[in-house]
Amino acid sequence: MLSFVLSRILQSFIVMIGVSLVAFSLFTYVGDPISNLVGIQTSDEKREQLRESLGLNEPAPVQFVNFLGRVSQFDFGISYQQKRKVSSIIAERLPATLELSFVSALLALLIGVPAGIYTALNRDSWVSHLMLSASLIGVSLPTFLIGIMLIFVFAVQIQILPSFGRGEVVQLGFWSTGFLTASGLKALIMPSITLALFQMTLIMRLVRSEMLEVLRADYIKFARARGLSDRMVHFGYALMNTLVPVITITGLQLGSIIAFAIITETVFQWPGLGLMFIQAINEVDIPVMSTYLLLIACFFVIINLVVDLLYYFVDPRLRIKQGQ
Amino acid sequence: MTEMPREHEADNVANLMQRIWRSDIAYSFRSSKVTVVAGLITAIFMLSALFAPWVAPHDPYNMANVSVLDAFLPPSWMEGGDPRYLLGTDNIGRDVFSTIIHGSRISLGVGFASVFFAATLGVTLGLISGYVGGRTDAFIMRIAEIQLSFPDILIALLIDGTIRSILGPGAHGNIAFVVVISAISLAYWVQFARTVRSTTMVEKSKEYIQAARVTGKSPLYIMFRHLLPNVMGPVLVIATIMLALAIVTEATLSFLGVGVPPTQPSLGTLIRVGNDFLFSGEWWITIFPGAALAIMGLSVNLLGDWLRDALNPKLR
């Protein structure tokens, strides 16, 4: 038990060290950090002084440890392009991405689960067939194409929804929210649908196949034999047993939503972390890039760790396997 | 023996065609209308991509033939359209239909190259992992596991971004192709490796491998001579499914501006460029390449799904 938890934590730790190493090497060896900080007129002596004071003349392992120390205090350096602290850029952009991802995840669940139940219970209805074919198209279409089509229809042709940005935002302390204004909510509609679509189809197919599996189980037959109503059998017994894997997968998909947000944010010029990353790549803004790398890796590692550990507590079979 | 009479050869070919036509796989192909349509569309895309310079009515890369006066012409059936340009022209007067054909050539080319390298890497590592076992296996599979916990498009994007920033802003032209192809193949090797590994572990204990080992063949020889042919079936299925994924990934990277260079646009690049004109009413510059990408991705995907089901004996 303890050994499993420890080995999982160790693995997460190794991954983070690996990613930090990549981020560190990018930071230190790609381009010259000094020439990105000072003007052309700065003398060589000044440069050398700066180099010394930033610790860039230390041996690489020492620099790496210093780097880890700074990162653990949320000091990610200064953006080459914006000449501002990366940490403040991130803090500014984070709410936009989190709000978009939250709404998308909610949308995916609220539509995906009922659609999955419906297609499982009414296997032969034409609505189910339609939904399944539509979901296949949803899976094979690239996200950005769906976004462009939505923009074309709702922003260019009908002109009822804005095609870019977050609309008006309200500042609540450090958090800027789009939930409180009409234009903010309107701006959220298309990006969140675009982002939710893939997860939605995934959840729908998952719920459907799990439900079909469960409906074949003996305890369902037994419940029917006891004369319970269809409603009770479907929602009281089948659905409850379907939801455990669905919740796990949804948890794992949270990471994917953040990742796919890169694409959605670019299509809709949504001022979040993903757009920041793409801009950083194009502008070769290394500090911003490597910070995003660290952040997203950290996020994924935590999600996976939590899901794995939860699984371990929920599913007794895993524990038995470990004991043998 | 090698000097076979001509008629014989023709006979053999006819015979072979007949055998293919009567085989189980061909039957399952014919009996699914969706698959036949998907196969036809895929074939059309591949042929037109292969012979793009001859199929395309204009040469969009030859600037001598492109006139800015022809820019922003709508599709030929619309008002103001020019019959010379079936699907209209883009912002610098290139024929959209021709750029789509050349673009899908690049999309498919990058897709095939990425899948090829991903398969080579994945199959090699899978064979080693499954055959050698022990610590090597644990190491390779641990990396694969870690990579699987990230979405592949994110992996491709991160690798692509990292290589780009290492190379600096000079990463244009042909280097960009190398970057994109390596990013996509590094993102997709895992699926190949895992499948090959599990098949290898089953095959390894069979008698023909034991016999080969007893005769003193080297592990490398056994892996590539005896094991490889027996794991190729599933590899082919994965490769087809991966082709659709690779095409979509390449298009996404190019759309984000970190893919193939705009001088040799793929479908994704065309959509990116056309996207700027969506609002000024020139929708055809982006919608037609988008539709082409959607149809191509869907067809290859359907074909992959069918192949997976057809080769899976459990589903028969």
From chain B, the residues in CB contact with A15 under 8 A are 146
Q: What is the DSSP string of B55-75?
A: HSSS-TT-TTT--GGGTTPPP
Compute the distance between CA of residue A268 and CA of residue A215 in angstroms, rounded to an integer. Answer: 42
Is the separation of the CB atoms in B78 and B85 below 8 Å? no
B213–chain A nearest CA distance, Å: 33
From chain A, the residues in CB contact with B162 under 8 A are 22, 26, 289, 293
B172–chain A nearest CA distance, Å: 12
Question: pLDDT tens digits for A69-113?
Answer: 888 888 888 887 788 888 889 988 999 999 999 999 999 989 998
B258–chain A nearest CA distance, Å: 7
Interchain pair B279, A260: CB under 8 A? no
Indicate the DSSP class of residue A172: E
The pLDDT of residue B316 is 47
Interchain pair B294, A255: CB under 8 A? no
Compute the distance between CA of residue A119 and CA of residue A132 in angstroms, rounded to an integer. Answer: 8
Element (H, E) at A171: strand A170-172
Name the interface residues of A facing B (CB cutoff 8 Å). Answer: 11, 15, 22, 26, 30-31, 136-137, 139-145, 148-149, 151-152, 155-156, 163, 252, 255-256, 259-260, 262-263, 266, 277-278, 281-282, 284, 286, 289, 293, 296, 300, 304
Closest CA in chain B for residue A287: B165
Closest CA in chain A for residue B151: A256
Interchain pair B278, A156: CB under 8 A? yes
Compute the distance between CA of residue A40 and CA of residue B52 in angstroms, rounded to an integer. Answer: 49
Cα dihedral A121, A126, A129, A131 sign: negative
Is the separation of the CB atoms in A86 and A74 below 8 Å? no
Per-residue pLDDT of chain B (316 residues; tens, 9 = 90+): 445 555 666 677 778 777 777 777 777 777 788 889 999 999 999 999 888 888 878 777 777 777 777 777 778 777 777 777 777 787 777 888 888 999 999 999 999 999 999 999 999 999 999 998 889 998 998 888 888 878 888 888 888 888 887 776 655 667 888 889 999 999 999 999 999 999 898 888 888 888 888 898 888 888 888 888 888 888 888 898 899 999 999 999 999 888 888 788 899 988 988 888 887 778 888 889 999 999 999 899 888 888 888 876 655 4
Q: B34, B41, B107, B150: which to substitute to probe chain A, counting the most A Cβ within 10 Å?
A: B150
Is the separation of the CB atoms in B191 and B242 below 8 Å? yes
Indicate the DSSP class of residue B300: H
Compute the distance between CA of residue A120 and CA of residue A211 in angstroms, rounded to an integer. Answer: 6
Average pLDDT, chain B: 84
- Which among A140, A152, A278 has CB closest to B256? A278
Question: pLDDT tens digits for B77-93?
Answer: 777 777 777 777 877 77
Interchain pair A259, B153: CB under 8 A? yes
From chain B, the residues in CB contact with A260 under 8 A are 151, 153
Element (H, E) at A175: strand A175-177
Structure-token match 């789509």, residue found: B100
A231–chain B nearest CA distance, Å: 32
Interchain pair B294, A145: CB under 8 A? yes
Q: Is residue A42 classed exposed, middle or buried when 0-12, 13-18 and 19+ CB atoms within 10 A define those classes?
A: middle
Can you tell me the ipTM of this complex? 0.83
Is the separation of the CB atoms in A5 and A21 below 8 Å? no
Question: pLDDT tens digits for A109-119?
Answer: 899 989 998 99
Is the separation of the CB atoms in A116 and A203 below 8 Å? yes
Count CB-CB contacts under 10 A for residue A7: 10
A319–chain B nearest CA distance, Å: 20
Interchain pair B162, A266: CB under 8 A? no
From chain B, the residues in CB contact with A11 under 8 A are 142, 146
Is the separation of the CB atoms in A299 and A24 below 8 Å? no
3 state SS of A270:
coil
Element (H, E) at A226: none
Is the separation of the CB atoms in B287 and B5 below 8 Å? no
Q: Is residue A72 classed exposed, middle or buried when 0-12, 13-18 and 19+ CB atoms within 10 A define those classes?
A: exposed
Class of domain B43-315: mainly alpha
B215–chain A nearest CA distance, Å: 38
Count CB-CB contacts under 10 A for residue B83: 7
3 state SS of B13:
helix
Indicate the DSSP class of residue B276: T
